Amino acid sequence: MQSFRAHERGANAAEYVGMIILAALVISGIWASGIADNVVEKVTCAISSILTGEQSCSAGSATNEFAPDPSAVVVESSQNESSSSGDVNIDVGYAKGGAGVTDGAKYRITVKADGTKTIELGESFSGNIHGSVGDKIDSEVAELAAELKVKGEVNSYKVESWDCDDGSGIDCKEFLRSYAEQIDNRQRTGVQVFTSGSNFDTNIPIPPSERITGLEGTLSLNAALRFEVGVDEGSYTSKAGAGLEGEIKGGVRREVAHDVDDNGNTGDVKSTTDSYFYAMSGKADAAVELSVKETEAANINLSAETTASGEISEEYSVERDADGKLTNITFKTTTGYETSASVNVDGGFNVPKTGESDESERVLGSKIGADGKTGREIETVVSIDVAKLSPNERKEIERYVSSLNSKSPVFPSAVINPSEKPAANDALGKIIHENGVVTTSEYATINSSAESKIDLWIASYSTKESAQQRKLLNQSYLEAPGADGTRKYVKNKDVP
């Protein structure tokens, strides 16, 4: 009994002093690391949530909260597009104008960082009006031409998607094998649809995971300058030339995502996303052309061209749920370059223009061509989950969304330089800096296409098939703000 009580006596004074010193060191380390602030913030958030019934403070600053979701990171995509277009063009000398319609379809497979895949089938119909003014200076051996074009276009589209290899029971390979005919039929456009016969089956009995309908409007302005030199040998003409081209484009888009029931019927609205986008691009090319004259009115042209181009684009998107409540805003900036090579064969019959004996216009002709492109893209995305913000922060975001500034091509400074701590009086910048999920990704792109065209006086009809591949080479994201307020990029380890 005595021995047992000796053990109950407790620590002596020296042991107490040692424990106090150890506890002080641990507490100091925790405080210096910033963990204490995070714990206090989370406890305060939890208490406030219980009292108010809603998430009333910002998400914590743990690094993994700022890492991109692997199920949302596309590491590879393959897309095939087909289109059929009809155009009417009128040439009145210095000015040209016209209108056209395009029937389009696409088939796309995306692979996510978590190994899941999505199959997308889309259809679209667009109409455009376009016009241009231009002039040229020429001599017997050289020609300098300049042209200014403007184009407006409205595009209506629908996209259905099936998630597969994700545990939902849909196997991607089996899906593609079982419905190969239906997928192929959905890629037919224009005249192909009317010549397909009665066994034109496009029905896929498995309901899609999601159905999106969209409407998009764009306006573009293009300026081109071209210089050519040539030699006319009577029976043939050879030319060599180079050109510069620049374009600016802006547009708006609305997408509505719908649920789909077990019978494949469109259900309730899941979300609505409004986007505003702008792009600026430039291109330089060099080309050679050989034109063989069969008669005075008929000729065949063979041409080859190589180009180098670059583009900078911005897109700002606002997503709302079925009740119209703001849920997410996204800023995307993309810079890219591309090199390409193309060959074309063009033949037709021409007649002299009225009153201009040295000029002619085509009355009947056809053209076929193919090209290949390779390039790189750098894409930075800043996304903010509005549901995680405090009421005051949500109000600030709503004010920005409702303002004219949000529709302009000038992004907030915190989006342009998201790693740096914003100014103390920049309320919007502070929200973006502390809550934005920021990723920067590098992609390799490969594109190829083939096109055929038939001209009949002022009208033309063309078909185009294209294939695009896009592969993620690497991706980094910004960690939580550090003690100095800045954020640092780290490599996304979920990317293969």
pLDDT digits (tens, 9 = 90+) for 197-219: 667 889 999 999 999 999 999 99
DSSP label at 209?
S
For the cut 80, the answer to whether the pLDDT of residue 317 exceeds it is: yes
C-alpha distances out from residue 237 to 202, 297, 349, Å: 49, 14, 16
The more confident residue out of 194 and 312 is: 312
Strands 142-164 and 489-491: unpaired
Which residues neighbour 221 within 8 Å (Cβ) at sequence distance 6 or greater?
A: 148, 149, 150, 247, 248, 249
> For residues 45 and 56, what is the distance between their CA atoms, to the nearest angstrom?
6
When the pLDDT of each residue in the chain is averaged and rounded to a whole number, the result is 86
- CA-based Rg of the chain, rounded to a whole angstrom? 30
**Beta strands of 294-430 (E only): which ranges?**
298-321, 326-353, 356-385
Helices (H), 132-232: 172-178, 180-186, 191-194
pLDDT of residue 9: 43
pLDDT of residue 165: 87
Task: Say if residues 120 and 77 touch (Cβ distance below 8 Å).
Answer: no
- Compute the CA torsion angle 84, 176, 208, 202 (nearest 10 deg): 50
pLDDT digits (tens, 9 = 90+) for 385-428: 999 999 999 999 999 999 988 888 899 999 999 999 999 999 99
C-alpha distances out from residue 39 to 14, 36, 43, Å: 32, 5, 6
Helix (H) or strand (E) holding 146: strand 142-164
For the cut 50, the answer to whether the pLDDT of residue 333 exceeds it is: yes
Percent of the chain with pLDDT over 90: 65
pLDDT digits (tens, 9 = 90+) for 162-175: 999 877 778 999 99
Residue with tokens 């455009």: 128
Task: Say if residues 264 and 208 touch (Cβ distance below 8 Å).
Answer: yes
SS3 399: helix
Task: Say if residues 329 and 386 touch (Cβ distance below 8 Å).
Answer: yes
For the cut 60, the answer to whether the pLDDT of residue 288 exceeds it is: yes
Confidence of residue 376 (pLDDT cuts 50, 70, 90): very high
pLDDT of residue 55: 42
Which tokens in the block code for residue 405?
Answer: 């500034």
Confidence of residue 292 (pLDDT cuts 50, 70, 90): confident
Confidence of residue 193 (pLDDT cuts 50, 70, 90): confident
SS3 366: strand
Lowest mean pLDDT, pick from 79-88, 90-99, 353-362: 353-362
For the cut 90, the answer to whether the pLDDT of residue 94 exceeds it is: no
Which tokens in the block code for residue 211?
Answer: 């159905």
Which tokens in the block code for residue 81?
Answer: 């597009």
Q: φ, ψ for residue 374 (rounded to 5)?
A: -135, 150
pLDDT of residue 407: 87
Percent of the chain with pLDDT over 70: 83
C-alpha distances out from residue 27 to 22, 32, 36, 62, 357, Å: 9, 9, 9, 19, 94
pLDDT of residue 48: 44
Long-range contacts of 268-271 (CB under 8 A, 24+ apart): 268/322, 269/322, 270/210, 270/321, 270/322, 271/319, 271/320, 271/321, 271/322, 271/327
DSSP label at 179?
T
Task: Say if residues 311 and 336 touch (Cβ distance below 8 Å).
Answer: yes
> For residues 351 and 65, what is the distance between their CA atoms, to the nearest angstrom?
68
Please choose, from the candidates 167, 161, 165, 173, the residue with its C-alpha nearest in 3D space to the C-alpha of residue 206: 161
For the residues 356-372, what does the mean pLDDT come to?
Answer: 78
pLDDT of residue 141: 85
pLDDT of residue 304: 95
Task: Say if residues 330 and 382 touch (Cβ distance below 8 Å).
Answer: yes
Confidence of residue 19 (pLDDT cuts 50, 70, 90): low
For the cut 60, the answer to whether the pLDDT of residue 36 exceeds it is: no
Task: Say if residues 426 and 459 touch (Cβ distance below 8 Å).
Answer: no
